[in-house]
Amino acid sequence: MATKFFLLAFLALWASRALASDPSQLQDFCVADRTSQVFVNGFACKDPKTVVVEDFLFSGLHMAGNMSNKQGSAVSAVNVAHIPGLNTLGISLARVDYAPYGQNPPHIHPRASEGLIHFQFNTGDKEAIAIAALSSKNPGVITIANAVFGSVPSISDDILAKAFQVDKKAVDHVQAQF
């Protein structure tokens, strides 16, 4: 009886563990073939015989992006679009430069979670840099303000005025910025 109970308890504990993960690699690499006419979830693999060193290289990340915009920031993404060798590896990164008082506006990545691996605090008088690690070869980005106030077709100002508890003029003013 006791043995059965412990077996049951063990099975219950074991079964409660989440075993989900990205599919494991079935080959050493799968360099993205952007010329392929095969449409799969991601990119088809280039013929391994034609893979070259450059498929795994990217340079230029040591240079700051252009921060002269309304947000005072620049995002330099390095994902499968820049390094075809990242295909199927589930990782990418981005360099974010901040001008004094600049910001990277609130956003989400629909296909990835994000972690900052390096950040220099923006003290106001100096530029700052953040390096973000993302758990997807192609994380995507949805900037909240653009999606809410700059969508095409636009979201009715009636709806947004109520949602943000302001009058319609305020909404129209913000929508006009996009």
SS3 94: strand
Instruction: Tell me which H or E stretch contains 74.
Output: strand 73-78
Rounded to whole angstroms, how far apart are CA atoms 143 and 159? 19
Q: Contacts with Mn ion in 58-117 (CB under 5 A)? A: 114
CB closer to Mn ion out of 45 and 93: 93
CB closer to Mn ion out of 104 and 175: 104
Spatial CA neighbour of 104 closest among 63, 151, 144:
144
CB closer to Mn ion out of 44 and 78: 78
Query: Cβ of residue 130: shortest distance to Mn ion, in angstroms?
Result: 9
Spatial CA neighbour of 56 closest among 28, 37, 35:
28
Binding track, positions 114-153, relative to Mn ion; x by CB under 5 A: x---------------------------------------
Query: Cβ of residue 60: shortest distance to Mn ion, in angstroms?
Result: 19
Query: Cβ of residue 14: shortest distance to Mn ion, in angstroms?
Result: 36
Query: Cβ of residue 33: shortest distance to Mn ion, in angstroms?
Result: 27
Helices (H), the chain: 2-15, 144-149, 157-164, 168-175
CB closer to Mn ion out of 55 and 114: 114
Beta bridge pairs of residue 89:
none
Residues forming the site for Mn ion (CB under 5 A)? 114
